Chains A and B, each alone.
Chain A
Amino acid sequence: MFIDFFYRLREQGVPVSPTAFLTLNRALHSGLIENIDDFYLAARSILVKSERYFDLYDQVFTCHFEGFPLPPNEGLILDEIARQMLQQWLQNPGATARMLDEDEEHLQKLSVDELLAYFMERLKEQKGEHHGGSKWIGTGGTSPVGHTGYHPGGMRIGGESIGKSALKVATDRRYRDYSGKGPLTEAKIGEALKRLRKLVPAGARDRINIDKTITRTVRIGGEIELVFEQGLKDRLKVILAIDNGGWSMDPHVKIVQTLFDYARAQFKDMKTFYFHNTIYDTLWKDPARSQKPYSVDELTRLDPETRFIILGDASMAPFELSTRDGSIHIQERNGRTSIECLKFIAKTFSHTAWLNPIQENMWGYSRTIAMVQQVFPMFELSLDGLEKAVSHLAE
């Protein structure tokens, strides 16, 4: 029963398992489900395991049982790319227009919504004709953020082109193998974690070692002697700051999060923050970087013994690091350059490390990596690098 419904959910990306589906059928036979409302609820609680998918479930449900059309499928990912394009457009309309082979004047007249719609159109068109090299991303690797340009905040953009501009990576993305060939794959996580455990110090001697107690007790003729040992109670505090902003980081963020999710159990206190490209005066507690800001200055309130681990590719336009108000986000304006903020963090915590998913032999090609390296000890996000980072942090 309802097999179509099941498959439609799957098609739309709700992760439903066959087992859950069988459970649903069991529920149907229990006699507890008498009408469509009951079914809606029961099916949701059994099939959908995260509130993230509630909305999608609702859409599929209304489509399947009430015939409402589903919203267009390409939805999210294209939408995200279009937004990126918009951001680039805002930063440098001229280059973006040239790239799209469009008249800048014409695009200037469009409202933000119209622009987004236009970008979406272009992206859909783009599907399928991309393979032989793109016709609308400028030849010769011209980056749209490249040249001196115009910014709505009145800022001048200086400097040379960035290795990976968001737009270029974004369009590549749709054709990429999703298997995620980072230098650190999930299979290696267990191994990596064993290394992270080196970080865990032993706490007070407050645990009874039963075996030793018995041995000792027997040895002294039955007079009970309790042997205490250190437990693993008092654990290290760790802060992990992840660059989850750019597309360049995208393939790596998930793997890193999985890694640290497992690691979290090991540490008494583990905080995760997010940032985009580099850190200004705010870190974000929510991955969307919009709801829960955390001021960098507040970091001083934390234990200076906290291990501060930054994870990012450190690849960005140099102005983002070295110019005052260099952030590509308009709301982050505090008059301090990012590199100063980074130095501030490095000074606040005695143990820091920067993990970089880019392979070490490529670091020389990015100026910003070199700049960041002067502030933080940088390690490659690989088994090897991680081990080095861990031993550095454990000092």
Chain B
Amino acid sequence: MIDQANSFSGGRQYVLDSELAQIVNVSMVLEMPLLLKGEPGTGKTMLAHAIAENLKMELIVLNVKSSMKLIDALYQYDTLTRLNDSRFGDSNRNVSNINEYIKMSKIGQAFTTEQRVVLLIDEIDKADTDFQDDMLDILDQMQFDIIETDETVHAKKRPVIIITSNAKKDLSDPFLGRCNFHHIAFPDPKMMRKIVGVHFPGLDEKLAKDAISTFYKLREIEGIEKRPATRELINWLRALAADPDFKAGKMIGKEVPFLGILFKKSSDYEKTAGLYGQGKS
């Protein structure tokens, strides 16, 4: 049984459905990484923040880049500094001790901290398949070798691992086999109202209703390349709330102000601007 203090129910800035909470808990008990897939803006990254906050653990974020090599995520051997030190000898470091020049990267940090942490591996799908598979080996065994010193780093406390993917590429089968999987669907309007509520506690009810229904209508326009997501809605609401000229209730079906906040691609913007008139942008 997982004790209450250590199980997860939702963060302050994040609206969590009970489904997701249950899956997070199962993954923690099984000590398996949780793979979150979903459209951009469905709160994959936010979830990790919420978990960390809720469990009162530190969050370590590894932002995966396409050019990243696995070793970059584990540790760095700072050869240049060592070379420099050996040349000039004006630092306090002991040049013959390689360990002084080994710095832990994100995964290494997650392994070596004394406290259990949440390790977020963000946008894993950007990296190539080799990176993904090799990384899972390490997360499976909870250890890796530092080649330069021939030492093995063991995880002191197994971190809670959250991996996100934008579903750009399919992940490999062995990778999937080692993760628990959850797909975050785009929130429905009711859920969205709650999410908006979390971000804007005192928001005018009418404005919220209007904005959300308009938002979902705009999302449905055919042929939009990048549909606006939660993040865009939040920013848009912020803009609406700050605009003194704007009155709730006047935008249904007519002019939609600040379209530029919702649509980031120029072709999308032109398309919607054509349909919903040009308010302020």
**Chain A residues proximal to chain B, CB less than 8 Å:** 15, 17, 19-20, 23, 26-27, 30-33, 38, 41-42, 44-46, 48-51, 54, 208, 210, 213-214, 217, 222-224, 233, 261-262, 264-265, 268, 285, 291-293, 298
Check B19 against A41 for contact (C-beta < 8 Å). Answer: yes
Tell me whether A292 and B32 are in contact in the complex, defined as CB-CB below 8 angstroms, given that A45-B180, A213-B83, A261-B169 are known contacts. no
Q: Which residues of B contact A45 (CB under 8 A)?
A: 23, 26-27, 34, 180-182
Check A208 against B128 for contact (C-beta < 8 Å). Answer: no
Q: Cβ of B37 < 8 Å from any Cβ of A?
A: yes
CA distance A291 to B220 in the complex (A): 11
Closest to A213 in B: B83
Q: Which of B6-36 contact A (CB under 8 A)?
A: 19, 22-23, 25-27, 29-30, 32, 34-35
Check A54 against B183 for contact (C-beta < 8 Å). Answer: yes
Besides the known contacts A30-B26, A42-B23, A261-B129, 20 further A-B residue pairs in the complex with CB atoms under 8 A apart: A19-B177, A23-B32, A27-B26, A30-B30, A32-B26, A32-B29, A38-B22, A41-B19, A41-B26, A45-B34, A45-B180, A49-B179, A51-B183, A208-B80, A213-B83, A214-B83, A217-B83, A223-B87, A224-B87, A265-B127
Query: What 0/1 readout, one digit per residue, does chain B (128-150) give for beta carbons within 8 Å of chain A?
Result: 11000000000000000000000
Tell me whether A222 and B181 are in contact in the complex, defined as CB-CB below 8 angstroms, given that A42-B22, A265-B66 are known contacts. no
Q: Cβ of B205 < 8 Å from any Cβ of A?
A: no
CA distance A30 to B1 in the complex (A): 6
Q: Which residues of B contact A15 (CB under 8 A)?
A: 173
CA distance A20 to B181 in the complex (A): 11
Check B26 against A17 for contact (C-beta < 8 Å). Answer: no
Q: Which of A19, A30, A51 contacts B29 (CB 8 A)?
A: A30
Tell me whether A49 and B83 are in contact in the complex, defined as CB-CB below 8 angstroms, given that A41-B19, A42-B23 are known contacts. no
Q: Which of B41-93 contact A (CB under 8 A)?
A: 66-67, 79-80, 83-84, 87
Check A50 against B176 for contact (C-beta < 8 Å). Answer: yes
Q: Which of A27, A32, A293 contacts B1 (CB 8 A)?
A: A32
Shortest beta-carbon contacts, A-B, top 8: A265-B128, A51-B183, A49-B176, A45-B180, A30-B29, A45-B23, A42-B26, A31-B1
Q: Which residues of A contact B180 (CB under 8 A)?
A: 45-46
A-B contact pairs, 25 of them (CB 8 A): A15-B173, A19-B177, A26-B30, A30-B29, A32-B26, A33-B26, A38-B22, A45-B23, A45-B180, A46-B30, A49-B173, A49-B176, A49-B181, A50-B183, A54-B183, A213-B83, A217-B87, A224-B87, A264-B169, A265-B127, A265-B129, A285-B225, A291-B223, A292-B225, A293-B223
Closest to B128 in A: A265
Q: Which residues of A contact B188 (CB under 8 A)?
A: none
CA distance A45 to B28 in the complex (A): 12
